Structure 1
Amino acid sequence: MKALKDILYKVHINSVTGSTNIPVNELHFDSRKVSPDDVFVAVRGYVSDGHEYIEKAAESGAVAIICESMPDQIINGVTYVEVDDTHEALAIMASNFYDNPSKNLKLVGVTGTNGKTTITTLLYQLFKKAGYKVGLLSTVKIMADEEEYKATHTTPDSLTINKYLSLMNETGVEFCFMEVSSHGIHQKRTEGLEFVGGIFTNLTHDHLDYHKTFKEYLDVKKSYFDKLPKNAFALTNIDDKNGLVMIQNTKAKKYTYALKSYADYKAQILENQIGGLYLKIDDNEVWTRLIGTFNAYNLLAIYAAANLLGLEKLEVLRLLSELESVSGRFQYFVSEGKITAIVDYSHTPDALKNAMETVNSIRTGNEEFIAVVGCGGDRDKGKRPVMGNIASTLSTKAIFTSDNPRTEDPQVIIDEMEKGVEPQNFKKTLSIVDRKQAIKAACQMANANDIILIAGKGHETYQEINGKRIDFDDMKTVKELLKELNK
């Protein structure tokens, strides 16, 4: 057991009531999990405030309470520590509790609106192929070298992050690649972690239900780079208009990558087709299995990061050619009837536009391009008409359907998507609330050589409807339907 005073190392403390020279068993920010000799950190959440459960935590045996304001009732034998920010305190305490595991490996964070999952997962793949023990903290899954664990958030809470980093230490992991979301940065989940590098992909319209303004969203992302240490690297996409803004105040060593601009790491697309991408990177040519301009950016970021982490450039190029697409990220298959079905996680306007433009770039123009698109409920409503416009403009037929409606009426969400459809595209759109029926309609419409894009859910194997998670897998569904229809 560790002493409370050791776990509080580097936490900004305003006042203490009681002793900090006491042994503690576990840290918790959920009062329901508190047992005797645990510490309860009262975190102000998006839905509830942990300060309301301080008394309950003490009754459950908590020996210490970390809070932003002292409760009215002080219980004898319980230590109360007042801090300015319990999110930050929790992250630092979690790192101390697990013996600062990020210091014992090379941790690289990837942030941006799109590309985080692909870059982190493919970096994990690449370094595994290079013979290293590697960790992964992503939206899709958590990996401690060969062991796989289920992921619940893009950036887990700070206790979970440090728990898995500690597990990676035990398994001898040398490199770890981590998705860093704007929510995670804003909620201080990455405080106390020691990064050797940070990668910025792009910044587009997303999460404005949470951040309220684009400037706040940008500033939160930028704050991650502001805190990188001087011995780390900051790698940014300067084809994005916010690329240089991200690194303008960082102490880390600055590096750039681009397809269109002069940069430290430069790539050119030589061929882009359904079978993959043929790229020229730093005057060397490489064939990869991934498709689309957005994946050219992802691959270039991977190449640059691997090189900055010490791998030889030619070795990295060889490994790039062996990488396979990430689950739900422009993942495709061709049916027996020669219909190409693509499943993609594109749930933002920019991601959807990228995916659809990629399909159009590899089409001959003679095929039908059918897009099945939905928008999530209880999330940023402003992007719904925008995505409706993109889907109806860039396809030959757009089917609007449910994504994860959550607590909203799915028909209302679809109605808001339809508001973005321009008059000349009305006849190209169709609305089917049931997602399986929408995919079935797309399969029935498609003929040989046609392309179906199913966007929005990607790797997710469920739908959230009225508070319940219902099993649903886009890729499994479209494969079954095309086989059933013998197409």
Structure 2
Amino acid sequence: MKIKELLVNVQVEKITGDENIEISGMVYDSRQAKQGDLFICIDGFRYDGHNFIPKAVQNGVCAVVIEREVDEYIQGITYIRVKSSREAMASLAASFYNYPLDKLQLIGVTGTNGKTTTTYLIKSILEQAGLKTGLIGTIKNIIADKTLPATRTTPESLDLYQLYDKMLKEGITHVVMEVSSHALDLKRVKGMEFAAAVFTNITQDHLDYHKSIEEYLKAKCSLFKQLTDQGTAIINIDDNYSNQVIESASARVISYGINKKADLSAEDIQLSPKGASFLIRGRKNIPLSINLTGEFNVYNTLAAVGVAVAFDIDDDSIKRGLEGIPGVAGRFELINESQGFSVVVDYAHTPDGMENVLKTALEFVKGKIIVVFGCGGDRDEGKRPLMGKMAASYGDYAVLTSDNPRSEDPLTILAAVEKGVLDYDSETPYIVLPDRREAIFHAITRACANDMVIIFGKGHETYQIFKDKTISFDDREVAREAIKEKMADDKK
């Protein structure tokens, strides 16, 4: 495709060079550049793409998108200056892939907690209704029977359009995706219209980036301005910020909740370690018995049913879709090696997320609750003592450990978490073990019959990030090793 054809919907400030040259692909990472590509310079958190133009040219690019003047214009290369490279990238990608969203129904799910589980529930319902559905999210991206690794909750716009293009070629008609606040603020979904958008909740998270809860909410609300004229907003009416989200919606609204009057509600909720049963009331009246436990998963289920209502899906498909999900990786995932106590791995990494899981555990745990958790480095520091407080409030024993320290000193992070435990003035005993493997083994060694060990923070992740390295680490596998070792020792 010729450059001038790609620029139809891009606000160009200046072009230097030949705009009639053909490009064969687009990249924003100079390392991935190939002969005939267009290189889009993104000024990111760690690196500025403008500094890598020579490398991209060396790899064969014939054109470059910039948002500021550069020191040197390389001869034979076309330079396209725009106001925002990120916004331009979304438009360029849409053009290059021939506007795939014209043929796809896009469903977005945003909120602090519950995005991943809700997308899986929606996908299952849609597929039971005979709608071929793709998924884009935190754990992985799914295209028909293929799975692709996910590097972030919501990919960059260029990556998204590449996925949409692949999905169309596989005959997919509907796409359900997690939409993070970062993605909304960084224009990763710029210009994309949604047939449905779900709001799960807002609690403290990502304030290292957004600086205030108001800015965080503003980012979330922007998704609902991107609904099509016939689109539907599905909103958790019980959330404290639901009114602001409803006001931002540019389409019809379906509300869901448990405590307030809503279009969809849940009654007669019964929880167990292995699942939940309840009755959906309102626009749908369906008795359910699902393999996901916790009131928070009742909310996630209601959100998914809201999407089903938006697409006029029948009750049988909804019931089959919801009851057929065995679970979601790293979301209250039970680790079962036939031990006499429970072990749960959960992705919760916010105070609210922890509280939801711990409240659920209190519903049915007969013994003690042993909490293992840490906080990520280079992220919202304000939530660290709050998470410490949650562990002290609900746990019978707490093991403070490292999560993904990234560039920070793990001990500095743990000191902030420990402050929350101490400030709570609780008698809850705790120990600080920076080594996560040691922490998990310690917790499981202490567990007795009817206890529950809950390992928070990393869920499905299979790595741990330090300042100078990234290592393989899976909470689930380490937990299994610890359980087996404990069971072997107990037999001696």
TM-score range, shorter chain: over 0.9
Helix, strand or coil at the partner of 2:248? coil
Helix, strand or coil at the partner of 1:23? coil
Q: Is the 8 A contact 1:384 1:413 kept in 2?
A: yes
Give aligned-pair identity as a percent.
39
Query: 1: distance between equivalents of 2:191 and 2:92?
Result: 8
Change (3 A) 1:160 1:134: same
Q: Which runs of 4+ in 1 moved over 6 A?
A: none
Query: 2: distance between equivalents of 1:323 and 1:427?
Result: 36
**CA deviation after TM superposition for structure 1 residue 17, in Å:** 2.7
Give 2:306's match in structure 1, choosing from 304, 307, 321.
304
Matched AA of 1:437: E
Query: 2: distance between equivalents of 1:20 and 1:257?
Result: 51
Q: Is the 8 A contact 1:325 1:331 kept in 2?
A: yes
Is the deviation greater in 98-107 or in 371-380? 98-107
**Structure 2 unaligned runs (5+)?**
none
Task: Determine the structure 2 residue equivalent to 1:457.
Answer: 458
Deviations 1:125-184 (A, max 9, x none): 333344332201011001101111111110111121111111110110121111111111
Q: When the two structures are superposed, what TM-score results if normalisation uses the length of structure 1?
A: 0.95
Task: Determine the structure 2 residue equivalent to 1:434.
Answer: 435
Change (3 A) 1:75 1:318: closer
Q: Is the 8 A contact 1:388 1:418 kept in 2?
A: yes
Query: 2: distance between equivalents of 1:337 and 1:286?
Result: 29
**CA deviation after TM superposition for structure 1 residue 419, in Å:** 0.4
Query: 2: distance between equivalents of 1:53 and 1:284?
Result: 56
Q: Does 1:31 find its partner at 2:30?
A: yes
Task: Determine the structure 2 residue equivalent to 1:483.
Answer: 484
Q: Is the 8 A contact 2:334 2:342 kept in 1?
A: yes
Task: Determine the structure 1 residue equivalent to 2:216.
Answer: 217
Task: Determine the structure 1 residue equivalent to 2:79.
Answer: 80
Q: Does 1:401 find its partner at 2:401?
A: yes
Structure 1 segment 36-75 matched on structure 2, within 5 A: 36-75=35-74
Deviations 1:303-359 (A, max 9, x none): 111221231134312331222210000111444232111110011111011111111
Helix, strand or coil at the partner of 2:9? coil
Q: Is the 8 A contact 2:270 2:278 kept in 1?
A: yes
Task: Determine the structure 2 residue equivalent to 1:443.
Answer: 444
**CA deviation after TM superposition for structure 1 residue 55, in Å:** 4.3
Matched AA of 1:190: V
Q: Is the 8 A contact 2:194 2:226 kept in 1?
A: no
Q: Is the 8 A contact 1:307 1:313 kept in 2?
A: no
**CA deviation after TM superposition for structure 1 residue 253, in Å:** 2.0
Task: Determine the structure 2 residue equivalent to 1:155.
Answer: 154
Helix, strand or coil at the partner of 2:270? strand
Q: Is the 8 A contact 1:269 1:277 kept in 2?
A: no
**Structure 1 unaligned runs (5+)?**
none
Helix, strand or coil at the partner of 1:346? coil
Q: Alignment RMSD, CA only?
A: 1.7
Is the deviation greater in 400-409 or in 58-67? 58-67
Query: 2: distance between equivalents of 1:61 and 1:155?
Result: 28
Q: Does 1:473 find its partner at 2:474?
A: yes
**CA deviation after TM superposition for structure 1 residue 205, in Å:** 0.5
Q: When the two structures are superposed, what TM-score results if normalisation uses the length of structure 2?
A: 0.94
Give 1:294's match in structure 2, choosing from 284, 293, 296.
296
Query: 1: distance between equivalents of 2:312 and 2:424?
Result: 54
Query: 2: distance between equivalents of 1:424 and 1:126?
Result: 46
Helix, strand or coil at the partner of 1:232? strand
Change (3 A) 1:392 1:427: closer
Helix, strand or coil at the partner of 1:66? strand
Helix, strand or coil at the partner of 1:325? coil
Matched AA of 2:80: V
Helix, strand or coil at the partner of 2:379? coil
Change (3 A) 1:448 1:335: farther
Q: Is the 8 A contact 1:207 1:380 kept in 2?
A: yes
